Structure 1
Amino acid sequence: MASRVLKSGIYSVGAIDWDRRIFDEIIPLPEGTTYNSYLIQGSEKTALLDTVDPTKIEELVTNLQELNVNIDYIISHHAEQDHSGSIQGILEIYPDADIITNPKCKEMLKDLLLIPDEKFITIEDGETLSLGDKTLKFIYTPWVHWPETMSTYLEEDKILFSCDFFGSHIAESNPFVTDEALTYRAAKRYYAEIMMPFRMFIQKNMEKLKDIPIEIVAPSHGPVYKKPELIFEAYKKWISDETKNEVVIPYVSMHGSTKEIVYYLMDILVKNGITVKPFNLTSSDVGELATSLVDASTLIIATPTVLTGPHPSAVYAAYLTNALRPKLKFVSIIGSYGWGGRTVELLKGALTNIKAEIIDPVIVKGFPKEEDFKKIDALAEEIIKKHKENGLL
């Protein structure tokens, strides 16, 4: 894909990956993605902001050669290879370029890419770099989503180059947001899968940005925002402590017993005005499950007993939830067993990061019977009560 103009002297020169369907061997990419690299031409110097995934270096090089530029600086916001992996290749073409980054990122790049120490110029939080008629201000934004990440603010044009912060995985030919609803959904999924564990750090980083006049947000994945309020307001909601009147139920059922319990419980909750989002763990998109956890108030993991513990898919759902640290208010466990086991104990032990109230689990023997359905009735009543007490219903 050819380079695209963002503003005078500012270009998007990265690559679009239409075909990539998994990221870091764990995150599904149903919409593909982009590796956004930006070129800023000042009256005296030229800076390249990040590179691209190594698989796409030819596209980056072609775009730079077509612009017929010399690169003085390579700004590295983040050491992960989808941003930094082509730095060595770019240095081979532009050997006089210096790498501008912070001390933590410098050490990571040396370890990951074996770049020699003398190629680096390190900067501190708030430091500026003049390109002549354009000034870059560097803003440390740690833990979005690695400890060394930072952003660059182009003062004259009021553009924030935010790296992974505010990103989304969408492969689009237009560099700017064209479909706000699609971008919102993709950005929420990106937040859920990558940023949600760092919610408290994001709150602090958002605070650092609040007094900076920003007219454009240019992340390292997904489209560029000409209306920054779209993504800023979304992030304010996602990182807040507010939850919605929603119950998420990841479940797996081997012989129908657990599914019977799940559907019985869902029917009661829906009839009482609660939004229920079930996910059959044998077929659901894990990214959709993660996204549902951004706003949910209650999580109920439903599983049969395999040998003496929960089904491996339920274990993974618990592990994922624990890693993502959503702002859940309530958690419970339902399911079935044949002769016994430690399902509840093991799942509770897998959710140590979740600071939610545990509502008494319901585990039934075999196919649910009348007395079991009464226990599910009681669980449903307790969930409804909790949602009402918290102003969700």
Structure 2
Amino acid sequence: MAIRKLVKDIHSVGVIDWDRHLFDELIPLPGGTSYNAYFIEGKEINVLIDTVEEHYGEKLLDNLAELNVERIDYVISNHSEQDHSGAIPAVLDSYPEATVLTTKKGKDMLEKLLHLDDDRVEVVADGDTLSLGDRTLRFIETPWVHWPETMSTYLVEDEILFSCDFFGSHFATSDLFVEDKDEVYKAAKRYYAQIMMPFRKIITKNLDKVEELELDMIAPSHGPVYQEPDFIFDAYRDWVDGPVKPEVVVPYISMHGSTGELVDYFVDSLMEKGIKVTPFNLRDVELGQLAMALVDAAVVVVGSPTVLTAAHPNVSYAVSLANALNPKVEYASIIGSEGWGGKMVDDIVGSLGKLDLELFDPVISKGKGLEDDFAEVDRLVAEIEKAIG
């Protein structure tokens, strides 16, 4: 893998994973990813910031050897998750003088996840500094982006924030720095939607903390480096704290066409009102796209038939996912159908319990929709238009 220079004596030595298309056996990665690690050669102290997946450990060591790195004094672990910590044991074996620096919670997690020896790991606290002789590192605790132990490392003189997952993007690219802003924005938004959004209230506090820093670069551990930090910082502010947009997201599925007809009529009616609406057929939707749509939307309307008295399993999964992601959405409702009855509505409403929502009355037909059912869809459209118009 290519070694790239950020600035004098600072190199990206991580790995680009062009072929990875699923993370945690759950999260789609249509653009691959990278595991960024950064080597800083100080006048007196050398440090490696984060590592890579365990099975890419040899590639990381090859990069360090190509840079003629003979000594690493400290391995800084900003985040214990194995895509960043997995190669730490290999690095410690190759550089026996090295010590791991991490947060108190990070030390506990690294020792459990990687079975590191206690004497190879030291704890740093929020605001602690480390002199490299000619440069200074400051450690900044940024918990819940997206694990409880996470921190960022700030290189004071160069004004570079090594933020690990914070501000990251699952995006494999040969560019060291952000070149195509539109492409990176989409990748970063997907990353935020799928990984960071559940913790948006805590992220607000971390943004406030980072805002106090003078920043020339943000170097995350996934995706390219930001030479214009305001680009990603402003995006996060919008995603986390910004107002919802007058948009409607409609995850749905239909077995025999009844729910589908009502949803089609609903979508067309919203379009006629000039309201942006995005339907997602859960038969074959890529859930990352749904997660991204939920970042900004004011309204989610779930469409489901009734299966054995409950919501369709695909709907149950999508609703549970939406509940876990904790988007800013303000309004919700349900469109669906049933044959001989059931508790489909109760099932869906119960699964949305984490969200602070206003619920519009659902539209539920008995089999194929009749005139009264379509009139109820009109009523729902009018309520949505009043709420967000």
TM exceeding 0.5: yes
Query: Could you tell me whether the CA contact under 8 Å between 1:241 and 1:327 is conserved in 2?
Result: no
Q: Mapping of 1:1-393 within 5 angstroms?
A: 1-69=1-69, 70-387=71-388, 393=389
Distance 1:353 1:384 in 2: 25
Shift of 1:210: 1.4
Q: How much has 1:316 moved relative to structure 2?
A: 0.6
Q: Deviations over 1:83-116 (max 9, x none)?
A: 0011001111111100011110000001100001
Which whole-Å CA distance do the structure 2 matches of 1:166 and 1:71 have between them? Answer: 26
Deviation at 1:29, TM superposition (A): 0.3
* Matched position secondary structure for 1:221: coil
Stretches of 4+ aligned residues off by more than 4 angstroms: none
Instruction: Give me the whole-angstrom Cα distance separating, in 2, the residues matched to 1:385 and 1:103.
Output: 50
Q: How far off is 1:165 after superposition?
A: 0.3
Residue 296 of structure 2: SS of its match in structure 1? coil
Return 5+ residue gaps in structure 2 as ranges: none
User: Once the 2 structures are TM-superposed, how far is the Cα of residue 138 of structure 1 from its aligned partner?
Assistant: 0.3
- CA root-mean-square deviation: 0.7
Q: Give the letter for the 1:34 counterpart.
A: S
The letter of the residue matching 1:104 is: K
Q: Distance in 2 between matches of 1:254 and 1:191?
A: 32
Quote how far apart the aligned CAs of 1:45 are. Answer: 1.1
Amino acid at match of 1:328: V
Report the Cα offset of residue 241 of structure 1.
Answer: 4.7
Structure 2: distance between partners of 1:305 and 1:141:
43
Name the amino acid aligned to 1:324.
Answer: L
Instruction: Classify the secondary structure of the residue corresponding to 1:100.
Output: strand
Cα distance in 1 for residues equivalent to 2:197 and 2:126: 24
Q: How far did residue 57 of structure 1 move? A: 1.3
Aligned-partner Cα distance in 2 for 1:11–1:245:
44
| 1:217-241 deviation line (CA, Å, top 9, x unaligned) | 0001000000001101101101115
Q: Distance in 1 between matches of 2:196 and 2:79?
A: 14
What per-residue deviation string (whole Å, max 9, x for no partner) do you get for residues 43-89 of structure 1? Answer: 11110001001121121111000011111110000110000011001
CA distance in 1 between partners of 2:44 and 2:342 (Å): 70
Measure the CA separation in 2 of the matches of 1:241 and 1:68.
47
Task: Give the aligned residue type for 2:167.
Answer: F
Alpha-carbon separation, structure 1, partners of 2:301 and 2:242: 20
Mapped to 1, the partners of 2:44 and 2:178 lie a distance apart of 31
Secondary structure at 2:248's aligned position in 1? strand
AA matched with 2:158: D
Corresponding residue of 1:390: none
SS state at 2:241 partner: coil
CA contact (8 A) 1:164 1:220 kept: yes
Aligned with 2:237: secondary structure? helix
1:17 aligned partner, one-letter code: D
Q: Deviations over 1:342-373 (max 9, x none)?
A: 00001111011110100001111111111111
* Deviation of the 1:120 alpha carbon: 1.2
Q: TM-score, structure 2 length as denominator?
A: 0.99
Letter in 2 for 1:65: A
Q: Distance in 2 between matches of 1:59 and 1:256?
A: 53
Q: Secondary structure at the match of 1:277?
A: strand
Q: Output the CA distance in 2 between the equivalents of 1:65 and 1:269.
A: 60
- Length, aligned pairs only: 388
Q: Is the 8 A contact 1:168 1:221 kept in 2?
A: yes
For 1:241 and 1:364, the matched residues in 2 are separated by: 36
Deviation at 1:273, TM superposition (A): 1.2
Secondary structure of the equivalent of 1:294? helix
3-state DSSP class of the match of 1:262? helix
Q: Secondary structure at the match of 1:16?
A: strand
Separation in 2, partners of 1:62, 1:333: 55
Structure 1 length normalisation: TM-score? 0.98
Give the letter aligned to residue 81 of structure 1.
Answer: Q
Residue by residue over 1:114-138, the C-alpha shift from the partner in whole angstroms, topping out at 9 and shown as x without a partner, is: 0010001211100000111011000
Read off the aligned partner of 1:144 and give its amino acid letter. V
1:189 counterpart SS class: helix
One-letter identity of the residue aligned with 1:296:
A
- How many angstroms apart in 2 are the aligned matches of 1:369 and 1:102? 61
